[in-house]
A and B are shown apart, each in its own frame.
Chain A
Amino acid sequence: MNARRKTVIFAVILILSSFVYLVFLGMKEGSMYYLEVREFFNRLNELGGQKVRINGAIVPGSVNYDTGSMKLSFLLKDNEMENSPRVKVVYKGSPPDLLEQEGVTLVAEGSYNSRTGVFEAKQLLVKCPSKYEKKEEEE
């Protein structure tokens, strides 16, 4: 009975600790700051080359896409702050569908290159809050 209880406790500890380890590992791999553009500028120095997500609005007229090299670039400003600082975002790949629609906000995932002063995005997610209401079916 006693030996049995010991085995059970041992097994529970083993399972729990490996689970906690997995969560820890996963958090290290998969978690990153999700920052508004203004917050991004506040934390610019501490970020280093760390992967982050930034959320902002595209500065109208700043979108530039070069078909030859498939390089997309645009300026991102804060969603709320007036006269917000702007960050230049570059991305390799074709522009998302709704990029130049009015009122679009965008989440760019990538890292800031302090040498060039450019945010190098690996992934772009376009959100269109007002119009996308109709997409609410994705339960």
Chain B
Amino acid sequence: MIDFGKYSLLFSFILSILVQTGLSVGIKKRDGRFVDMAYRGVKVIFVFLTLAVGILIYAFITNDFRIEYVASYSEKSLPVFYKVTGLWAGQKGSLLFWTWLLSIFAFITVRRDENKPNSVFLPYVLVFLNLTMMFFLVLVSFVTPPFEMLARFPADGNGLNPLLQNPGMVFHPPTLYLGYVGFTVPFAFAMAALVMGDLGDWWIKKTRAWTLFSWVFLTLGIIFGGWWAYKELGWGGVWGWDPVENSSFMPWLTATAFLHSVIIQERRGMLKIWNLSLILLTFALSIFGTFITRSGIISSVHAFGQSPVGYVFLGFLFIILAAGIYLIRTRYEKLREKNPRIEAFLCRESSFLYNNIILVGICFATFWGTIFPLISEAVKGVKISVGPPFFNTINSPLFLLLLILMAVCPLLGWRRTSTKGMLKNFLIPFSVMAVSLPLLYIAGIREFMPVFFFSFSVFVIATVAREFYLGTKAGVKNSGMGWMSSFMSLVLRNRRRYGGFVVHVGMVFIILGLAGYGYYQYKEDFNLKKGQEITVKHYRLKYIDLANFEKWNYEAVGSLIEIYRSGKFAGILRPEKRFYKKQEPSTEVAILPSLAEDLYLILGSWNPDGSITLTVVINPVISWLWIGTGVVLFGTVWAVLPRRRRDDEVDVLEKDIIIYLRGTGAG
């Protein structure tokens, strides 16, 4: 059984070599038979990797501790749910999971286009997908084999780190991997476009769904990570600008920039080189992130097991960058042809451009702060660590600018905006913002930066509301529909645009949640005797008792705290310290969430006389971070859902390809 898993990996690796050969020969000789063989090979790889994954999960469920990986991350008494997710609990399994996802995506890419008449691009795309595949298959077959056996197998496994026994942590890795792996597909299409020398926007249209799909999973993965940190790490925050966190944030930034700049290429044919570079950068940064986290080269709070795998990723990163830059350089002249210019400082196009500059700026600043300890050690011989104040100082004003752009961009016209039209467009959203200022003042938001953040959030929402209103009104006027049906047809027809607006609203909620806790977090330690009461802002906390209890794999000490909010009983919280049988002790925080604020309690320590140290944290509006994530997810799904009718865009695409075929004489 285990051998079968091992051999299916090895077999997949051999197959991937054959696929590569088939593709190369097929492309060179223009022989469809070789290409068809390669397509079949891609599908068989998917089948074998699915088998391998199935066998590993089966080994987890049946407690097969002969396998080193299973023994390290599972134990008999672990709930089945965590056994299944043990697949991605450690490095070896994660890489297998990653490879498997890649094989699924390659499979889907083939299935979508193999039988279409105009799929000349498919072999080229597969060359790049399969090369990435080969890299990962080398890893799982030879460098980090997940089916490695133990010389002497134990009666029970080591168990799973308690910090990982949390739903946030269970979903964080797979969502993040889906995002990372997903970007392989647009990357492969972009490289294919470069190799073919066909630099229209067909590759962008083809991969629009992939890009959005990967982006939303990357977003979810990052937020799940923050959610997990908030619930499990017990420091009251969601984000600490740690190198490991940064490494997932950087590809997100370039991906977000890419999502926006492709719109400009589609509408105006501009920014071709920029778009290719962004997708290359996004893919490279996701590999770079894996290098940072796996090599342990930069000291991180997350303290990973250091392993040589990181350097293998570094090598792969150099290959990708070298190939990408070479391809862009050799096609540079062709890319520059017919590039129209941006005509005005304040127009829709230029606001997209500013958005891109800022996103890449944030990415660069984050990159700089992340690798600075390495630079300073190499240059000055002393490590200098760069802490959160660095990132906050740079990134808060940049994020504010992004927020302002979100507010203003839809109010600007394409190409150029007349001053008069602009004033008219700005009137209502600006007034709404102006009205919000005194309200913010009353709510206690009076400092410079927070006032900007909160008031422009209002501005964005007003702008989006205006867009929905104007669109609906136009429908009523033009086709004589009722308001409701006009609204429905608006949002159903123009999904990408209105889905995008919904995503913006979600982003505003996320930014609000982060700003609220970033600027207005309250945190204090208290020493409490049994029965003692304290008042914290409008909360009254009464420490009742200390209790011991036992669960299947841990014993815990918990303190019962009665909470009264504005005089009314709001519940009992029980922050705990858990002592696991096989793992380190960990702190379990207790949270009383609400839309306005979270009350967050951490049990620090306790004494024989029953007194405790309790840390009380109040995080204003942090719930909106999670709500906003839901809104972003909803908006993206809306934008990406396939339309029932084949629309014009697909026709345009095929025309592009036909033109290409005529041009090369291949068709």
Residues of A within 8 A of B (CB): 7, 11, 15, 19, 22-23, 25-27, 29-35, 39, 53, 55, 65, 67-68, 70, 92-95, 97-98, 101, 107, 109, 125, 127-129, 131-139
Contact = CB atoms under 8 A, between A and B. Distances in A.
Question: Which of A26, A95, A131 has most chain B Cβ within 10 Å?
Answer: A26
Nearest to A21: B394
A137 B605 contact: no
Given A26-B369, A134-B160, A139 B391 contact: no
Given A15-B357, A34-B384, A97-B577, 13 more contacts: A30-B393, A32-B387, A67-B527, A67-B607, A97-B584, A97-B586, A131-B583, A132-B303, A134-B72, A134-B89, A135-B303, A136-B294, A139-B94
B604 A95 contact: yes
A80 B269 CA distance: 59
Given A97-B587, A128-B303, A137-B94, A30 B527 contact: no
Contacts of B604: 70, 93-95
Contact of A26 (B73, B382, B391): B391
A102 B322 CA distance: 45
A19 B302 CA distance: 30
Nearest to A125: B301
A19 B91 CA distance: 38
A133 B305 contact: yes
B368 interface: yes
B303 A67 contact: no
A136 B305 contact: yes
Given A32-B387, A35-B382, A128-B584, A23 B394 contact: yes
Question: Which of B177, B304, B372, B583 has most chain A Cβ within 10 Å?
Answer: B304
B176 interface: yes
A94 B236 CA distance: 14
Given A135-B304, A137-B172, A138-B244, A34 B585 contact: no
Give chain B's interface residue range (CB within 8 Å of chain A). Answer: 35 or more
Interface in B543-583: 577, 583
A131 B584 contact: yes
A63 B328 CA distance: 59
Given A32-B385, A33-B384, A134-B89, A26 B305 contact: no
Contacts of A129: 303
Interface of B: 72-73, 88-91, 94, 158, 160-161, 163-164, 169, 172-173, 176-177, 221, 225, 234, 244-245, 247-248, 289-290, 293-294, 299, 301-305, 345, 357, 361, 365, 368-369, 372-373, 382-394, 397-398, 525, 527, 577, 583-587, 602, 604-605, 607, 611, 613, 615
Nearest to B384: A31
B525 A94 contact: yes
A78 B423 CA distance: 65
Given A94-B613, A95-B604, A139-B248, A134 B293 contact: no
A31 B301 contact: no
A15 B361 CA distance: 10
26 contacts: A26-B394, A27-B386, A30-B389, A30-B390, A31-B386, A65-B605, A67-B527, A67-B605, A67-B607, A70-B527, A93-B604, A94-B605, A95-B604, A101-B584, A125-B301, A128-B584, A133-B305, A134-B73, A134-B160, A135-B304, A136-B91, A137-B172, A138-B244, A138-B302, A139-B172, A139-B177
Given A33-B382, A34-B373, A137 B387 contact: no
A26 B169 contact: no
Contact of B384 (A26, A32, A128): A32
Question: Which of A35, A134, A138 has most chain B Cβ within 10 Å?
Answer: A138
Question: Which of B234, B293, B394, B615 has most chain A Cβ within 10 Å?
Answer: B394
Given A19-B361, A67-B613, A137-B172, A97 B382 contact: no
Nearest to A25: B393
Contacts of B305: 132-133, 136
Nearest to B248: A139
